Structure 1
Amino acid sequence: MKKTKQPVVILVGPTAVGKTNISIQLAKALNAEIISGDSMQIYRGMDIGTAKISEREMNGIPHHLIDILDPSEPFSTADYQRLVRSKIKEISERGKLPMIVGGTGLYIQSVLYDYTFTEEANDPAFRKKMEEAAVQEGAEALHARLAAADSEAAASIHPNNIRRVIRALEILHTSGKTMSQHLKEQKREQLYHSVMIGLTMDREALYE
């Protein structure tokens, strides 16, 4: 007998498009709990640039993976995958619908698909060198290095997310393959019965 896949709703869209308001309305209508899909909202103190939801805006809807780490603590895509899959299981067992809200594509894909991560592509000395380069040359210069080597990965990582920029460079340095190549080699089997909702608006209005 074929096992039924767990349903999961994903709500994505750029910052300021209105995800917060719509996510609360959806969560109430669908009896859902919300899991943050944003790579920066996990960090305490990073509130303004990430448009982090306030307790008042939550309106009684449980939210997960917000303000769980200090900015100095390391956090990888593999960590996110593990935590979110655990939260999906917990929420489902409570009879609620798990809903991922956010905009970090790689994080969301790592949860939905059968991605595996190896810890082999590690070089602490190279990482330290890149961290020093980020301080001396700036985040934009480091991001430009990544763009020259792996334009696909660079397009999905914000220049200010230095940790992920360095991780992508480290993978290339240690394995000889770009992060994008590693992802393309992954299995693309959907682990959940997912529905993805994408929000958008006129670009000029969004920027304003």
Structure 2
Amino acid sequence: MLTGRFTILRVLTLLPVVLFFYSCSNAYQDLIPVEAPAHSFQPAYPFDFSVSNPVIYDLAIKTKKQYFSGLFILKNEGPQQFRLAMTSKLGNKLFDMTFDNGQFTVHQIIEPMNKKVLINMMQSLFTLMLEKKDLPDHTSYFKNQNMNKVYRWKEKGDWKTVMEDEEGKVMAYHSGNKKKPAVTIDFKGYKNGHPAQIELVNSKWVRFEMLFSQLDQK
């Protein structure tokens, strides 16, 4: 009986240590370095507005205390210029923003969403999702276990990562520290020139999620 108690106590003592090392594990440790010139490794762009413009998604936004859902309309209005709007299923506008070469302007937003933290997180995620990635000279090139291309570079204190699938289409964007992403964007499947599903997660401060599912347009 005493031995059993000591075993339980030992497990409880070691558990925080195990969790600490797990949290510090390197999410990119299995990447295989590749020597290649930058011109052969320029990443693809996930949206093709020559196929369809605008593109419409079902969108769900989740925070710890709030949940919003509706239709999201993304319209390309020029090189790196976008209109982003979200409406309820009844047609009430939830927000209306423009993205112009990295600069956001909020034209309209409902009061429950009009929080600085919420707006900043949406803008950081939209920037990561929409900005074209011009790889700097210090970019490192890799392949993952499926031999797909991966690009990593440091920018303004954060490590940026772009992953492609076997067809050369963008599979994920990451932003975070060298070993672990704090912001992830996963692109799942493609149709009509755009990702069929997009999952954006920011776990840097408080968990914030945006889940997109593309609608068929008639």
Superposed pair shares fold, TM > 0.5: no
Q: TM-score, normalised by structure 2?
A: 0.22
For CA contacts below 8 A with separation 6 or more, give which structure has more relative contact order. 1
Higher strand share: 2
Higher helix share: 1
Larger radius of gyration: 2
Q: TM-score, normalised by structure 1?
A: 0.23
